Structure 1
Amino acid sequence: MRLGAGRRAAVLVSGLVASAAFVACGTVTAAPAPSAASTSYATPVTSVLVRAAPLPPSDEPLRAWCRTGVRGSTGSAECFNPNASVDRVRLHVECRRWYDPDVDTAAERIGPAGHASLSGRCWHEVDDVWISHDSGR
């Protein structure tokens, strides 16, 4: 079966998109290209093997996972600690206007398998939101 030029381009583009998605996951190893003596008119399919790179050992303590968000003039964070150690998290909200005071919440202690919700509010717009971690005591 012979593919038209438009169909070949669509197959090529979809193959590139799929391989780009795998590149974000780890090392990509492509199969060798077919030989020039091949008489097949179909576009060859290249197999992709993805190997996740192991994480290097770290001296940093394990931390809670947090998602931050902004809705209107309120910055918030949802944190979950999947680790066996205690983590303390603080939410920092930077307000856009110079006269609007920035917000730093008190440290919230999150134990093993614990969950915390933090929020802070500006008078007007929020410029930035981030979390800081401290080992629990």
Structure 2
Amino acid sequence: MRLSRSLAPVTVAVALVMSLPYGAAPHARVAEPFGSECRTRVQGSQVIAYCHNPYADADRVRLHIECSRWWDLDTDSSPIDTGPAATVRLTGRCWKEVRSVWVSHQKP
């Protein structure tokens, strides 16, 4: 049986990969679960966020607040490391209304 010219290189490549030992072939890395679960609450100009880390790796969280008024300064909290099974509280405020709030996550 004769293979077509376009199919022959593919067949050779598959045969080479299949003949490699198991440890020699590249494997896709499985990402481990990461990141705290955060809840935010806005009351007037005050912002409170609670972040709980259910995973084994630490998570560095920061609270970001965007204020509605152009003259009101947006704020970012200092980063806080949240260890396994730990809960942290992040707070911040605007002088007037709050436009948006989010929490960023980073591996320490």
- TM-score, normalising length: structure 2: 0.69
Distance 1:78 1:60, change over 3 A: same
> 2:64 is aligned with what amino acid?
H
1:101 alignment partner in structure 2: 73
2:21 alignment partner in structure 1: none
Q: Aligned-pair distance for 1:82?
A: 0.7
Structure 2: stretches of 5+ with no match in the other structure: 1-28
Distance 1:122 1:58, change over 3 A: farther
Query: Structure 2 CA distance, aligned partners of 1:69 and 1:58?
Result: 34
* Aligned 8 A contact 1:93 1:102 in 2: yes
1:28-43 mapped onto 2 (5 Å cutoff): none
Query: Structure 1 CA distance, aligned partners of 2:91 and 2:101?
Result: 10
- TM-score, normalising length: structure 1: 0.55
SS at match of 2:56: coil
Query: Structure 1 CA distance, aligned partners of 2:90 and 2:74?
Result: 15
Query: Structure 2 CA distance, aligned partners of 1:74 and 1:62?
Result: 28
2:52 alignment partner in structure 1: 80
Amino-acid identity (%): 50
Query: Structure 2 CA distance, aligned partners of 1:58 and 1:119?
Result: 34
Structure 1: stretches of 5+ with no match in the other structure: 1-56
Q: Which has the higher contact order (CA 8 A, sep 6+)?
A: 2
Q: Aligned-pair distance for 1:135?
A: 0.4
> 1:121 is aligned with what amino acid?
R
Q: Aligned-pair distance for 1:59?
A: 3.2
Q: Does 1:117 align with 2:89?
A: yes
* Aligned 8 A contact 1:75 1:120 in 2: yes
